[in-house]
Structures are given as C-alpha cells and as structure tokens.
Amino acid sequence: MKRDITAIEDIQLLVDTFYDKAVKDPQLGYIFNDVAKVNWEHHLPIMYKFWASVLLGETGYTGNPMDAHFRLNEKVPLTHDAFNSWKNIFMQTVDEFFEGPIADEAKKKAVSIADLMFYKIHNYDQSAGVNIGKVRRD
C-alpha cells in the first residue's frame, strides 16, 4: 500500500525520481542537460527544500524560481509541450509512490506552479507596469 508524503525522505524520493525521468524525456532532457547544464549536486538540495516548504511547511528555501525560468526561457523557449511533459512526469511520479491528501496537494501545487510560470513567461510584456518608463514611438 502506498503512503502519503510526510517527511523529507519522501520529498527526496519524489524529486530524485522525477528528475531521473525528466532528464530522459524527449521534451525536457535537452533543456536540463544541454541548455541549463544543471549541476545536480547543487540543484537537488534546493528542490528538496522547495518542495518541503510547499508540501510540509518547512522553512529553509530561498530562491527565485521565476527569475531562473525567465533566464532559461531566454536561452530556449519553454513551450507548452515542455510544461505539459513536466506536469505529466511529476504527477506520474507522485502516483507511483504516494497517495493521500499531501500527495494530492503535491499534484495540484505542481500544476498550479507550472501553469502560473508558463503564463508569466509568455505574458510578461503585457503585465501591468512593464512598459513604465518606455517611450512610445507611434
């Protein structure tokens, strides 16, 4: 029987398994491996802290995931298909190991975070205040 996500060890299993799958995915692998050239020894502990803060209410995460993804999107367009692959792999990984209220919350949060990130990346120029200080040349 599967159990719920209740401890940092559960977060580590989820994150490690998710990224193991993501780097092999045709939509995502090259982004992690060739474009971002992720340093996994550095990145994984950050992701453990991020998800532990989101799902378990733990403190210790500091970072700006939006900024990191804006910069990545400048190198390679982060497409709708890439975000969908990310969401699907994440939800499959949760379902592979866990069930329960926190596991359900993990899937909801992952979809919400990915959808908001996609929206912000692709609608930044239309955001209120972005064009402040720019001179119109009509």
Tens of pLDDT, residues 43-96: 999 999 999 999 999 998 988 888 999 999 999 999 999 999 999 999 999 999
Mean pLDDT calculated for residue range 92-115:
98
Q: Is the pLDDT of residue 138 over 70?
A: no
SS3 at position 3: strand
* Nearest alpha-carbon partner for 94 in 82, 109, 106, 111: 106
Contact 4, 94 (CB under 8 A): no
Gyration radius (Cα) of the chain, Å = 17
Tens of pLDDT, residues 15-32: 999 999 999 999 999 999
Q: Is the pLDDT of residue 109 over 90?
A: yes
pLDDT level of residue 38 (50, 70, 90 thresholds) = very high
Q: Based on the number of CB atoms within 10 Å of its own CB, is 2 exposed (0-12), middle (13-18) or buried (19 or more)?
A: exposed
- Whether pTM > 0.95 for this model: the answer is no
